[in-house]
Amino acid sequence: MEGHSEVQRKSSKFFVVKVTAGQERNVARILESRITSPEQQGVYSIIILPDIKGYIFVEAESRDKISVLVQGIKHVKTGSILPVKKEEIVIHLVEKPTIEMLSVGDIVEIISGPLQGISGKIIRIDKPKNEVTIEPADAAFVIPISVPADQVRVIKEKEV
């Protein structure tokens, strides 16, 4: 949220809110829509960690700000707002390279570059070159295409 000075932000704390597992994103969206009202100034960020199910993290001035914000939300567990140290959250925020998230057999779409919009199955991953080779799904005949790994996004993960 814009408009907050660094002095105000330094007084912020992180809190963990227990929610129904699998509903983290829905609760975060509801919270985000509620923050737009002027009385909710003092809530700075909402964090969902994909590896931690059943919890969302909120940066705010106080627990009271979050209590008001979560009132009446179906998937929030009552009495579940607890302070958490920033360091405990930061260790989960290490970004993995895109190539680490891809597997042979995944269906991907090329999201940038001259081949944008083409989708297909990954047939080879070349980590040293940071490239993936895909077989386009819509091609009349199969011609493997190699593209940088950061130019694709997974549409459907490989079925195990």
Residue 125's domain comprises 98-156
Q: Compute CA distances 33 → 29, 45, 70, 97, whole Å.
A: 6, 12, 11, 31
The pLDDT assigned to 37 comes to 64
Q: What is the number of domains present in the chain?
A: 2
Domain co-membership, 79 together with 10: yes
| Tally of residues, the chain | 160
Say how many C-beta atoms besides its own lie within 10 A of residue 102's C-beta. Answer: 20
Domain co-membership, 76 together with 127: no
Amino acid of residue 26: N
Helical H segments across 38-155, by residue range: 63-70, 86-90
Domain co-membership, 20 together with 85: yes
The pLDDT assigned to 157 comes to 82
Segment 75-96, tens digit of pLDDT: 898 777 889 998 888 887 777 7
